[in-house]
A and B are shown apart, each in its own frame.
Chain A
């Protein structure tokens, strides 16, 4: 619902202005709630009413506000207040901190929606082709003198409806539960992926190395080869162990096929990294025929856009890994724009990092064998997150089956 608070003052009872305004709201298809009402104590004293006007679209709301504005019901909203950033990478005192909810700011008498909403950022203005656009700006990207919203005047956020009736997850009573039919949930995820595809939006997969360790890499690879993924976010580990498996049949020295330790297997992942580095990168390794299978091979062959973000414990890392955290964030930020669903499997840090970048309206699925990881993401305020506490091998195997039309 779109809403706006208006203030109506004067002899609004004697003049029937209040009745007129309320009737007008209903007549034009809106609803109202009288938030505050003060009746003038004597005949000479004016009365005041604060009315919350609601409508199902911005257009209808604007029409109602225009009509009732003529009868003196004026928006209570004030303009957003800006202050210049005092230095590069520093917000002005009292800056407004964004949420991941749909947000607009009031500027020069109109609401400007923020296209790239992301939590924990500031809001700035930019002129684009003669139009003023409002957008989020992360702390490290703000430049000295750039206008940044301070305080919360003139900032409006629209809460997302948590359970849309058309959502494939509408049967989920709570966001996460280990005591729920997993098959049903997984088939709902497959259904949602089809819907996202039909809407022309992208599917993002965020994965941790446990996918390779558990032998589930082949299911992820199958999903990529069937064209189900558009973007992959991971760290050095997932790519390294996937390549280790492709080159040596092991993941962290354990043979995937047999589950036994291979002799000198602990060296394999370093040898794998070294091989890729010697060729200049994963792409070159695929082109030269060194790397012939696996998740990363499938990504290269099927043009899946991937971001490998580095961390302090990384070996190597692989040449594609972005070791500057801020640059990695920016690379991820750049790619989440058209995402319609995010599936995060067996990784805490990459899941939380991605959750931070996504608008609340994007359906987010978090799968982990540890309930804490799922809860952690929900606690971050990612409202459209559904959690599934289960093993990633089972999840991916089941999901691939559902996507391949194997009804369960």
Chain B
């Protein structure tokens, strides 16, 4: 995770961002601190931190650093120049810790875990809004895994992790309205699905972190919370309104290391 020391809304690069609706930075700091406490104390996992660079207001969204598989990091190739500034900091952090750093072909945009999530051995990968489909071929060749490409069609769900999260190799939580008909057919054919209601999808219900049988999700999504609790998950809900203003919530603020 990356503490929001330089977090701000300084440009508009997704449907959520508006310079007229900037985050309350002290509230954002409190919300992030609560998320960190839930992760470390309630869920009980170890969290590594990366310092935020001053010129990168969105670096708090560490999910977009890349995709970590074992001791390898498949580094992002950000679509927007504003976020390309983050790449060298993430790269340096992983290099210092001895990770093997792999970069996608220059012409293929790839935004890390934002658009790539494992459901068992299969990698679910989003494209068209941020990542290019050619990055999926690179992921598949590099990891020797099956990569299922899912087209995102609504600008509000611009990363796969804003519209879907796998619970296991069989179960996937998703918001159908974010995907094209082919992607919906693929998901229906391959997984047991839990649909998220539109109003909760707009509250970033799909931007949740799954750690074993514990789930950390943004506040304001009672239907999904109840559904998941009924299936035996322990669910923590954290208010993250000030980050949603920039188009991210719990999952965007974290990157799985192992």
Contact = CB atoms under 8 A, between A and B. Distances in A.
Nearest to B180: A20
A10 B135 CA distance: 10
B149 A17 contact: yes
Contacts of A74: 134
B147 to A, nearest CB: 5
B186 A10 contact: no
Nearest to A12: B149
Given A15-B186, A16-B185, A19-B182, A10 B150 contact: no
A11 B182 contact: no
Contacts of A14: 146, 148, 186, 190
Contacts of A16: 182-183, 185-186
A108 interface: no
Interface in B124-163: 128, 133-134, 136-137, 140-141, 144-151
A11 B144 contact: no
A10 B182 contact: no
B141 A46 contact: yes
B133 A11 contact: no
B151 A10 contact: no
B134 A11 contact: no
Contact of A72 (B137, B144, B148): B137
Contacts of A46: 137, 140-141
Interface string B50-86: 0000000000000000000000000000000000000
A198 to B, nearest CB: 49
A44 B182 contact: no
B98 to A, nearest CB: 27
A10 B147 contact: yes
Contacts of A70: 128, 133
Contacts of B144: 44
Nearest to A42: B146
B230 to A, nearest CB: 31
A6 to B, nearest CB: 13
A11 B128 contact: no
Interface size class of A (residues with CB under 8 A): 10 to 19
Given A46-B140, A70-B128, A72-B137, A11 B147 contact: yes
Contact of B133 (A17, A43, A44): A17
Interface string A14-56: 1111011000000000000000000000011010000000000
Nearest to A70: B128
Contacts of B137: 9-10, 46, 72
Contacts of B150: 15
Nearest to B134: A72
Given A16-B186, A20-B182, A11 B141 contact: no
A281 to B, nearest CB: 63
A210 B57 CA distance: 88
A72 B150 CA distance: 12
Interface string A64-82: 0000001110100000000
A72 B125 CA distance: 13
A405 B15 CA distance: 71
B228 to A, nearest CB: 27
Interface in B217-255: none
A121 to B, nearest CB: 35
Contacts of A19: 182
B185 A11 contact: no
Contacts of A72: 133-134, 136-137, 149
A71 B146 contact: no
- Name which of A11, A20, A43, A70 has the most chain B CB atoms within 10 A of its CB: A11
B173 to A, nearest CB: 20
Contacts of B140: 10-11, 44, 46
Given A11-B140, A11-B149, A72-B136, 12 more contacts: A10-B140, A10-B147, A14-B146, A14-B186, A20-B151, A20-B180, A44-B145, A46-B137, A46-B140, A46-B141, A71-B149, A72-B137
29 contacts: A10-B133, A10-B140, A10-B147, A10-B149, A11-B146, A11-B148, A14-B148, A14-B186, A14-B190, A15-B148, A15-B149, A15-B150, A16-B182, A20-B151, A20-B180, A20-B182, A43-B146, A44-B121, A44-B140, A44-B144, A44-B145, A44-B146, A46-B137, A70-B128, A71-B133, A71-B149, A72-B133, A72-B134, A72-B137
Interface of A: 9-11, 14-17, 19-20, 43-44, 46, 70-72, 74
Among all A-B residue pairs, the 8 with the closest Cβ atoms = A72-B133, A15-B149, A16-B182, A10-B137, A20-B182, A15-B148, A43-B146, A44-B144
